[in-house]
Structure 1
């Protein structure tokens, strides 16, 4: 009798194991979870791009300013709007603004047409603003030359510290980031060359105009 009970128990256990095996290999039963692949296994995700191949960045690609953003940025950085008959309003479509007749979305590609018209705009606002500022003795009422002395003449006489202060101040205005290190040295050399040529031409406002144009047409001004 005892032997028969042991035999029966073995049969029951065997049947239970076979059912468990069948349930694992068969369709998912109610009340059970389907297996989920490990998302951290190699090959299951796309690795971040190499920072050296992305200009030191692993985030999104830079975006160009829209026409409305460009308009506001120029007025804020230079202190003057790109107006007039050939101003930003007249060039808006060429700069990429949608007309919602033929073009439904704004073009923000930094193409050659945009670069050409931006240079025209930079010349207009920078030359005009520089000509006004050279006549303004109150530094607090100036925009580009606020760090320069109240009454300034030959900018070749500025000390290295004054030139650097001017460049850092304006790079913050135009790009939101200060010039520093070797790049600051290169821009200081550029400033000195511009000051020398301005004195030769007897147009001191050209120094401000040239630096303004260079910073406004830099890629750091039109992208974010």
Structure 2
């Protein structure tokens, strides 16, 4: 009996030795080699990005309209003056209609780009841009201007500006208003708008010519553009 037990033990040791000798040695990792990490994002574990075609080419969040406070600050920075009139008809008087909460009947600010907002914004743009343009026509120091800072110190007939000067003016203002410069075919279209306005002003019989209206036209168009009121 003891011989059988001893024989079984010897056989077990022998088989264990054989199995150890058959195991292949594991090579140590090379310097700078990272161990493979399994991908935690398996199909179906996350929501795919929305279709850009369904969101106007955007894959992020939908654009948001400026609040009344943001609009007030943006107009001041872009145009150089607040929307304060005429009379008592500025942004403060129109704040509720533009969407500001009164915390009596309305507890949250409305930031929908509705028709009421567009109508009042156009009125404010006309007043603010015209008033600023009138001041800049008489300002001979370009550094003190906002809309026409790239134009010469003194200027009259805007048709005499070179194409490069007109493009510089439009690129400068589009960057101020939208944070991105006009370029390509769109810039060419804006050059055409500027040229038509400058030509139209010179056909008027008024003396002096209301050349400030050319600056105001560009200002109004950029201020009422969706790129100005959304972010």
Cα RMSD for the two superposed structures:
1.7
Alignment of 1:14-29 (within 5 A): none
In 2, the alpha carbon distance for the partners of 1:45 and 1:140 equals: 53
Partner of 1:58: 59
Q: CA deviation at 1:88?
A: 0.2
Kindly provide the CA deviation profile for residues 165-214 of structure 1, in whole angstroms up to 9, marking residues without a partner as x: 00000001100100011111111111111111121223111100100000
Larger helix proportion of the pair: 1
Alignment of 1:56-95 (within 5 A): 56-84=57-85, 85-95=88-98
Kindly provide the CA deviation profile for residues 126-145 of structure 1, in whole angstroms up to 9, marking residues without a partner as x: 00011111111111111100
Q: CA deviation at 1:51?
A: 2.0
Partner of 2:223: 216
**Which ranges of structure 1 fall in alignment gaps of 5 or more residues?**
3-37
Q: Contact 1:139–1:149 (CA<8 Å) still a contact in 2? A: yes
In 1, the alpha carbon distance for the partners of 2:202 and 2:48 equals: 55
In 1, the alpha carbon distance for the partners of 2:199 and 2:183 equals: 23
Q: CA deviation at 1:41?
A: 4.1
**Which ranges of structure 2 fall in alignment gaps of 5 or more residues?**
5-38
State how many pairs are aligned: 191
Partner of 1:206: 213
In 2, the alpha carbon distance for the partners of 1:200 and 1:107 equals: 44
In 2, the alpha carbon distance for the partners of 1:39 and 1:183 equals: 45
In 2, the alpha carbon distance for the partners of 1:144 and 1:40 equals: 51
SS in 1 for 2:203: helix
Q: CA deviation at 1:56?
A: 2.4
**TM-score after normalising by structure 1:** 0.81
In 1, the alpha carbon distance for the partners of 2:154 and 2:118 equals: 35
Partner of 1:171: 174
Q: Aligned match of 2:120 in 93, 117, 120?
A: 117
Q: CA deviation at 1:46?
A: 2.2
**TM-score after normalising by structure 2:** 0.78
